[in-house]
Structure 1
């Protein structure tokens, strides 16, 4: 199956490719075919200033298309021919990067859907336990507190699991965007997900750099950081209540380090 991509190709005022005389010793039919990408099929001008390139379908498992360095040292080629072939490789990189993103993201998205559901269930359970304190009898306060602390731990694990898969997805997207030269060739993760029938509404996926440790310190990943802040607020609120109720044992539990 052939893949095509329109790519800007500079044309002169007469809307023709600038003509450059062939160097001495070059054959009339020498257009650098030997340097073409193996997937390259054809190129045709469309409109005033665009060229459509056609390639055999990429799998995403190939090496990244890279313009051969020998191209620029070949005396048989004109500068225009070198530029034309270089643009061919730029077009090939776009199609390759888009296919590679899908190759990497599709299996991750299937796992991500399960992880996000698990996180939401754990988070909502945690929230419901906290909310229940407002109507709880005093003699059940401590046992309910233990259930909340357990829910905090489960929610944090689910958040960490989500951040792990979200970081992998963010890295796959960042790699694709880094390969292409034009923002219009970037693929949004929501598009890939929609192709698989996956709704990403509400998903927290931050830029890839926020999931990586720095050489000097380690910080919580995005969803874990948000959750820890909320857990701290819950614990502080309950500790205040325990203090006012002169329940020092519960206050010590809540003040303990939970990170």
Structure 2
């Protein structure tokens, strides 16, 4: 920004102040000294671009920035719903020669935070209907898992003549647990992908956990078992792919059957050996 300072004496043809006689103290006259000091101060002060130059590139939701520790800033925005377009710093801002590098860096930081907050809004938008659908499936899985374990533990109190009937109850409990595990893993994979997408778009301090979204919806998702997306993807070297919870309950069923088989072998009762 050009600054003009009125001088009491015109400059000469070379743009210099005309020589003036010294005052009685041996110094330049006061008016000349003040004008010279003002010129030096103006030259030393950094010339900043007008605030309007950066304001026109700010995100529409941007409210203000406040200084933070270590030379950083905290950016404040109106709430994002997730319906907005992904925040991206305008290309014109990068190409604008009127902006300093510091101003461009500030805009870049502003849009990085904007994208993080937008990703939170998008996560809430996408995850809400899936989490509402997931809640009863999680309840069904935990109920089926508990019934499987209770049915197996019942063998400790089952008389010899009732083992076959108890084995039938166990196989029914196994099928119910596997069905519930498959249903849960299917919805858990959806949530895993949604959460992973938000993590990719957010800086670390703006990652939003699904259990937090659940709390906002009135759901307790703190115990939900959700793995990384890769855990739900079949691997090339695996001939039989099982999703995480299905794999866990299958292993538990196999352990139960091995124990029952060992008991039947020790008792010499091959007719009650589980298939």
Bigger mean CA offset, 100-109 vs 206-215: 206-215
| Structural RMSD (CA) | 2.6
Listed one character per residue, the Cα deviations across residues 158-189 of structure 1 (whole Å, up to 9, x for unaligned) are 112112222222222222222122x2221222
Matching residue of 1:229: 251
- In 1, the alpha carbon distance for the partners of 2:47 and 2:179 equals 64
- More deviation in 105-114 or 94-103? 105-114
Deviation, structure 1 residue 20: 6.4
Could you tell me whether the CA contact under 8 Å between 2:117 and 2:202 is conserved in 1? no
Which deviates the most, 201-210 or 190-199?
A: 201-210
Q: Distance in 1 between matches of 2:51 and 2:141?
A: 63
Find out whether 1:55 has 2:74 as its counterpart.
Answer: no
Q: In structure 2, how many angstroms separate the alpha carbons of the residues matched to 1:213 and 1:163? A: 13
Give the whole-Å Cα distance in 1 for the aligned partners of 2:163 and 2:189.
Answer: 38
**Matched position secondary structure for 1:35:** coil
Whether contact under 8 Å (1:173, 1:189) holds in the other structure is yes
Match of 1:112 in 2: 134
CA distance in 2, matches of 1:238, 1:187: 45
Give, in whole Å, the separation in 2 of the partners of 1:29 and 1:65: 21
Query: In the alignment, is residue 128 of structure 1 matched against residue 155 of structure 2?
Result: no
| Segment of structure 1 superposing worse, 83-92 or 48-57 | 48-57
Matched, 1:142 2:159: no
Normalized against structure 1, the TM-score is what?
0.77
Contact 2:152 2:170 in 1 (8 A): yes
Task: Give the Cα–Cα distance (whole angstroms) in 2 for the partners of residues 216 and 93 of structure 1.
Answer: 38
Quote the residue 2:212 is aligned against: 191
TM-score (normalised: structure 2): 0.73
CA shift for structure 1 position 50: 4.4
Q: Report the counterpart of residue 200 of structure 2 in structure 1.
A: 178
- The whole-number CA distance in structure 2 between the counterparts of 1:154 and 1:85 is 55
Alpha-carbon deviations, 1:65-92, whole Å to 9, x = none?
1223343233333222221221221121
Structure 2 runs not aligned, ≥5 long: 1-44
- CA shift, 1:208, in A, is 3.0
Contact 2:57/2:90 (8 A) holds in 1: yes
Q: In structure 2, how many angstroms separate the alpha carbons of the residues matched to 1:20 and 1:176?
A: 40
Name the counterpart of 1:212. Answer: 233
Whole-angstrom distance in 1 between the partners of 2:51 and 2:218: 49
Tell me the residue number matched to 1:100. Answer: 122
1:65 aligns with 2:87: yes
* Structure 1: tracts of 5 or more residues without a match: 1-17, 23-27, 255-259
The residue number in structure 2 matching 1:3 is none
* Residue 213 to residue 64, structure 1, CA distance change in 2 (3 Å): farther
